[in-house]
């Protein structure tokens, strides 16, 4: 089961290393990871997706809590979170295929960032599932490059972690 762990950490060198090191040495696999600074420049927020059972996630949470650099850890509730990922996708495109690609982009809400005689580059911010669908729809046109940021997420409602 995929679970989303949100971690507030001190924003300084070596902290990310310490967090990811904890995962690797206990053989917890990270599905996705995204890091960025929060409103407070001394604090960063890391969003980690793990695909494991509850006991593993509980152990991860406890181990993270022990690190001096970690300020707060929270596993977000799956059914009440807003999770988004950004994808940039470059695909082969020519006069024959361009219109079909545009149709898919419109349906999925992707924005075209660049165009050339032989290619198109689009961006889409959505849930990971929607990104997977978009990627699958683009595959027949021959994908040149895909870049994904990893999911960032917050809990719905007025609360904060």
Sign of the Cα pseudo-torsion (112, 113, 114, 120, in order) = negative
> What is the smallest separation between the CB atom of 14 and another protein, expressed in angstroms?
7
Asked if residue 122 binds another protein (CB under 8 A), the reply is no
Q: Is 17 in the site for another protein (CB under 8 A)?
A: yes
Give all strands (DSSP E) within the chain, no chain letters. 2-10, 30-37, 43-51, 70-76, 81-92, 111-116, 119-126, 143-148, 152-155
68 part of the interface to another protein, by CB under 8 A: yes
Beta bridge partners, 37, equal 44
Angle at 32 between CA 150 and CA 27, to 5 degrees: 165
- 41 is an interface residue for another protein by CB under 8 A: no
Of 62 and 160, the one with the shorter C-beta distance to another protein is 62
**Among residues 22 and 146, whose Cβ is nearest to another protein?**
22
Contact with another protein (CB under 8 A) among 27, 66, 79, 96: 66
With binding defined as CB under 8 A, does residue 74 bind another protein?
no
Nearer to another protein, 70 or 87 (CB): 70
| Candidate residues 33, 34, 70, 120; the one interacting with another protein per rule CB under 8 A | 70
Task: Identify the three-state secondary structure at position 153.
Answer: strand
Beta strands 2-10; 81-92: pairing state: unpaired
Q: Does 46 help bind another protein (rule: CB under 8 A)?
A: no
Interface with another protein, residue 27, by CB under 8 A: no
Q: Tally the residues of the chain.
A: 161
């Amino acid at each position: 089961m995929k679970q989303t762990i949100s971690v507030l950490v001190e924003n300084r060198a070596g902290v990310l290393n310490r967090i990811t090191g904890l995962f690797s040495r206990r053989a917890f696999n990270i599905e996705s990871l995204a890091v960025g600074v929060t409103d407070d420049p001394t604090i960063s927020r890391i969003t980690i997706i793990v695909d494991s059972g509850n006991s593993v996630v509980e152990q991860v949470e406890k181990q993270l809590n022990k690190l001096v650099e970690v300020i707060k850890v929270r596993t977000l509730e799956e059914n009440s979170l807003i999770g988004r990922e950004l994808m940039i996708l470059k695909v082969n495109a020519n006069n024959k295929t361009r219109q079909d690609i545009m149709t898919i982009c419109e349906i999925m809400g992707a924005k075209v960032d660049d165009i050339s005689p032989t290619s198109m580059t689009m961006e889409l911010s959505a849930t990971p599932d929607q990104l997977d669908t978009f990627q699958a729809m683009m595959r027949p046109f021959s994908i040149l490059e895909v870049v994904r940021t990893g999911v960032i997420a917050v809990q719905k409602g007025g609360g904060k972690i």
